[in-house]
A and B are shown apart, each in its own frame.
Chain A
Amino acid sequence: MLSLPYLSVLLWLPMVGALLLAFVPRNSHGAIRGLATVIFGIQVVLTALMWGQFDSSQGFQFVEKFDWIPAIGATYHLGVDGISFSLIVLAAVIGVIVAITSYGIEHRVRDYFMFLLILQTGVMGIFMALDYVLFFVFWEVALVPMYFLIGIWGGEQREFAALKFFIYTMVGSVIMLVGFIALYILTGSTTFNIVEMYSLAPAMISPAAQKAIFLALFLGFAVKVPVVPFHTWLPLAHVEAPTPISVLLAAIMLKTGGYGFLRITHPTLPEAASSYAYLFGVLGVVAIVYGALTALAQRDFKRLVAYSSVAHMGYTVLGIGAGTQEGLMGAMFGMISHGVISAMLFILVGVYYERTGTRDLHRLGGLFGPMPFAGSILAFAAFANLGLPGLSGFISEFFTLVGTFPVWRNLVYTALIGLVLTAAFNLVALRRVLMGPTSAEHAQLPDLKGYEKVTLLPLAAFTILLGVYPMIMFRLFDIRLAELVALLAGS
């Protein structure tokens, strides 16, 4: 195959696209949407090409490493292993879907797509970077366009939501930065390399300092996941963001937090990770139960889906806490699965909101009749969300709980309560939206348009594919996660 520097191209292509957009006249909406879609499409093609060459037994691949700031030991170091590659595939696929879903934006279209492309570069960079400084650069780069995307194109309270999101995440990330610098200094101030730090940190840092640094890093990632109680920015941000941005937030941005745990905190500081494992387990279960309960109480459809995200990310946190092979597999797979399912849900919320003008579950109703296609996909998505066997959600929940059972039986029992509550809120939402009498004003609503089908059907297909043949993803990261399990068990 071509010997391109795949990762750099993948990384910088959206940024280049954003710069190109500056030269497109701001009124040529068609050209703008076309260019953006092409760029996201190229990203999907690139990841497909990379998949063909990916070998999960080889450690980090497609590595590119150049000196960047020798004075402090920061390098331009990119590389992917199974964990990051699967997330990059997810980001590419969701990226093109978000681009197509964004066709509905009519206001300041060029600015919108420019911010979206810059955001995509940031997100890709987070998953590829193997240098702490580079990682932090992309971590923050992803924050800034999000502020604008929520603040300009969002709902009623968009400015507050955008600012709250930015400040919340920034508090976490500056504390994380202090943690990074501490890692650097305590290992002799030689390098910021993530991979080298795997061996340097446990050897050179005292256990007490390791715990302190772990907490600092934990804070940064916990805000993103989000781990309860650092989740309060999420409902507001999700609800106020425009539909495509909610999709991006839920499907990708939340995963950067989980990725942080798997890439940085746990492999670098395994002793501290093991000592805080039970905390992870508890916080995970709290999120599962609390998220589901709160979702059940919601009247706003979008808020319900937002809390559903909190609940699902709880499984990821629980699985990481358990530290067993099945637990980690469930956690990792859960991130992918949730990315796909929540994307479907948020798109559908947008579909219904755009047509009826409301997200109030008490006013929506009887919508299966006028929009059977949309209704079918919503039902499908709701069942996927509650973990119906045969669909991807079941695999992730099953593996997480199987992985946790040998370690903390009580937590599994509590999580099962959450499982029932999850089924409850999904079915309640389904009933409220689709069943019941159709009001006169809703009787003539148009069903899914072409571009909406183009976004939803592939997502549904992935859900089924991943549910029936999870090996397709497992194959990517099972070896890497096994290494992590061994590392955690050994300390």
Chain B
Amino acid sequence: MAEFTATVVQQLPSIMPELVLAVGAIVLLALDLWTKPESKVLLSDLAAAIVVVALAALLWSTDFGRTPVLGGMFFADRFSIFLRAVLYSGLLLVYLMGQGYLRRNNVPQGEYLVLLMFATIGTAFMVGAADLIAFYLGLEVLSIASYVLAGLRLGNHKSQEAALKYFLNGGLSSAIILFGLSLLFGLTGTTALQEMAGALAAGGTQTAVLATALAFVIGGLGFKVAAVPFHLWVPDTYEGSPTPVTAFLSVISKGAAFGAALRIFYVGLAPVMGSWTAGFALLSAITMLVGNVSALHQDNVKRLLGYSSIAQAGYILISLAAGTREGMAAGLFYILAYLFTNLGAFAVVVAVSNDTGSDHLDAFRGLSRRNGFLAGAMVLFALSLVGVPFTAGFFGKLYLMRAGLDAGLNWLVIWTAINSVISVGYYFKIIQAMYLRKYEPALETTVLGAGDHPPAMAGGSREENDAVPPLRPGRPVMVTVFIALAGTVLIGTMPIFIEWAGLAALVP
């Protein structure tokens, strides 16, 4: 008993950040009961502060290396520290961008903050999981919180639709992945990843059952990362959810799922790499194509970014198709780069939505005259998503392409290049609206029905329009855009980030 206590005390710091978040969430929940509606914004600041403390705890935490802690459930190694740092930073930015939006869109602040925090704790266990059970627990915590978060725009039928679709799809995929995990348990006799690798390496596992297990696990994870054909929930859920929640889903939820996938496949299923790398390559190619082509038709920016994130998931899948340490490092780097870029883009969407009440492309018209900084930042985020240099996204694609070529996936790399060009078509629709179109005030906007009606249309005009009303977003949103912009540019120019990603990548 004393030994057990000693072990627990010694290993507790490994999940100190998660404990901070958990306690913080409960405190927030309690405080929410006693705060008046006008003072809710203080809760938001408190939540951000809690995340900062958690980040600090993370950066000071001990690296336990390849040995799982907490009864073999959790890895507190560089991989998990890197990803948790990325995810928590994302959460901080999501908190920052949401403040003004919540008020305008009838989202209950207390529940929103608490649910996000719990969801992030779930992501921490997903990326740090040393055991399939821990992974599944993390997945469920994340998912259930996400289902509710999607529907938090009270009284908005699109939000309710989003939540329902996500829940139904998610419930099914949870069952699928659990079935796959149980098959893996049956095959190897263990749920611990390292032991599983040992069992598989010993050989003699039935290939048909293994293939089925892999298929189910890939399917379940594919849902979470929004790979084709498991992506059908994405457009409606992304459109209907409150925009900060969409940002969270597209970046943090997806990043966690990728992290978990990297961990499970590269650690637990490494001995049977030949069976799953090809599958991921195919998945990657299809996902990229469907995501990019479908985005070309979209008029609603949230749906557009939804399909864009499907395509981006396709690119990240290259890291799983490569089967090399380089591939893993590239994937980790891309998650980091993508986090800043996508959160920045969504922050701009929030700013525009707060001002115009609409998520339609036409709401972006003339943004370059109304707020040059926001428009310029959006251009950089779009360029980063396309993969144009001076941005993090370019280097992300460069590393992924290098990993792909090195692993012999020449066709996939060329396919990625082609897809990047296709994606120009829809990212540039946003740029076109901001820079090449004249601003038109919206005629029909309602706070609750935001996003359904395009503002009044007018042809592009070259006249000087000095009477354009400037767009002044709230300070938290501007700070978010600024941090995201700085991140996108710095990660795209400074070498230290790829080194961190390289250090975090595990040797398969």
Contacts and interface: CB of A to CB of B under 8 A. Distances in A.
A218 interface: no
A184 B389 contact: no
B368 interface: yes
Interface in B448-468: 460, 462, 464
B398 A143 contact: no
B452 to A, nearest CB: 27
Interface in B400-425: 401-402, 405-406, 413-414, 417-418, 420-421, 424-425
B306 to A, nearest CB: 23
Contact of B389 (A108, A140, A159): A140
A257 B64 CA distance: 53
B402 A185 contact: yes
B280 interface: no
A171 B428 CA distance: 15
Interface stretch (B91-99, B216-224, B311-319, B494-502): B494-502
Contact of A69 (B432, B436, B498): B498
Majority secondary structure, B binding face: helix
A137 B387 CA distance: 10
Interface stretch (A173-181, A399-407, A455-463): A173-181
Contact of B498 (A72, A139, A171, A177): A72
Given A70-B495, A159-B432, A178 B401 contact: yes
Given A159-B460, A181-B401, A184-B402, A69 B389 contact: no
B405 A182 contact: yes
Given A170-B421, A185-B406, A177 B495 contact: no
A301 interface: no
Contacts of A137: 389-390, 394
Contacts of B462: 107
Interface in A156-194: 159, 163, 166-167, 170-171, 174-175, 177-178, 181-182, 184-185, 189
A170 B424 contact: yes
A136 B502 CA distance: 23
Contacts of B499: 70-71
Nearest to A163: B428
Contacts of B112: none
B495 A71 contact: yes
B402 A136 contact: no
Interface string A113-145: 000000000000000000001001111110110
A148 B435 contact: yes
A68 B495 contact: yes
Contacts of A300: none
A163 B436 CA distance: 12
B388 A140 contact: yes
A151 interface: yes
A237 B503 CA distance: 46
Interface in A77-122: 107-108, 111
B368 A143 contact: no
A141 B418 CA distance: 19
B363 interface: no
Query: Which of the four size classes fits the interface of chain A?
Result: 35 or more
A174 B389 contact: no
B383 interface: yes
A221 to B, nearest CB: 16
A152 interface: yes
A111 B372 CA distance: 10
Interface string B374-405: 00000100010001111000100011011001
Contact of B402 (A107, A147, A181): A181
B321 to A, nearest CB: 16
Contacts of B418: 171, 174
A167 B421 contact: yes
B464 A107 contact: yes
Contacts of B405: 178, 181-182, 185
Contacts of B495: 67-71
Contacts of A151: 432, 435-436
Contacts of B421: 167, 170-171, 174
Given A69-B498, A70-B495, A178 B417 contact: yes
Contacts of B383: 144
Contacts of B420: 170, 174
B148 to A, nearest CB: 41
Nearest to A27: B466
Contact of B398 (A141, A163, A175, A181): A181
B327 to A, nearest CB: 13
A140 B397 CA distance: 14
Nearest to A174: B417
A107 B368 CA distance: 14
A177 B390 contact: no
B414 A178 contact: yes
A26 to B, nearest CB: 9
Interface in B336-387: 368, 379, 383, 387
20 contacts: A69-B498, A70-B495, A70-B499, A71-B495, A72-B402, A107-B462, A108-B464, A140-B389, A151-B432, A151-B435, A151-B436, A159-B436, A171-B418, A174-B418, A178-B414, A181-B413, A184-B402, A185-B402, A185-B405, A189-B402
Interface of B: 368, 379, 383, 387-390, 394, 398-399, 401-402, 405-406, 413-414, 417-418, 420-421, 424-425, 428, 432, 435-436, 460, 462, 464, 495, 498-499, 502
10 tightest A-B CB contacts, nearest first: A137-B389, A174-B417, A69-B495, A140-B389, A71-B498, A140-B388, A171-B421, A170-B421, A185-B405, A151-B436
Given A71-B502, A174-B421, 19 more contacts: A70-B499, A72-B399, A72-B498, A107-B462, A107-B464, A140-B394, A141-B388, A141-B390, A144-B379, A144-B388, A163-B428, A166-B424, A170-B420, A170-B421, A170-B424, A174-B417, A175-B417, A178-B413, A181-B401
Interface of A: 67-72, 107-108, 111, 133, 136-141, 143-144, 147-148, 151-152, 159, 163, 166-167, 170-171, 174-175, 177-178, 181-182, 184-185, 189
